[in-house]
Amino acid sequence: MALLILATVISSMTLGVQVIKSALTQLAPELEEGAVAAGASAWRCFRDIVLPLIAPSIMLVGALSFIAAARNVSTVALIATSQNRPLSLLQLDFLVDSRHESAAVVGIILVALTTGVAVTVRLIGLRAGIQR
């Protein structure tokens, strides 16, 4: 199971790194310089200034990674076993066996899970004050 999680994290890492990198480059260096001048340590500067400003980007990366992992078959097809079969491969197995109703149920579960994650991230973003 850990290998499946690692494979999906690595497959979505390129997009995640780019999103977080763009959020970090938009931060003015004066914010950190001001905190250091006021006597804050590097950890406190990161925790109190940088992290709250990039938190929406981190939530976006998490949501996008989850959605990509839910529908990604090619990354996990070669390393999945019968004990750790993800829903996307289970749906594919049902389709190959011509069990279309079962595949449709798994598809609805996948849509419900990804919609739930997207709505949860959106609600957290609204609570944090992110309007758009």
Tens-digit pLDDT profile for residues 6-55: 877 787 788 889 999 999 999 888 888 888 888 888 888 888 888 888 88
**More reliable by pLDDT, 66 or 76:** 66
Q: What percentage of the chain has pLDDT greater than the value 70? A: 95
Note the pLDDT of residue 71: 73
pLDDT at 39 (0 to 100): 87
> What confidence score (pLDDT) does residue 102 get?
92
At 130, list the tokens.
């992110």
Average pLDDT, the chain: 83
Which residue did the predictor score with more confidence, 85 or 27?
Answer: 27
Which pLDDT score, from 0 to 100, does residue 55 have?
Answer: 86
3-state secondary structure of 76: coil
What domains are defined for the chain? 2-127 (1.10.3720.10)
Give the C-alpha separation, 81 to 66, whole Å: 20
Q: Quick count: other Cβ atoms within 10 Å of Cβ 80?
A: 19
Reply yes or no on whether the pLDDT at 82 is more than 70: yes
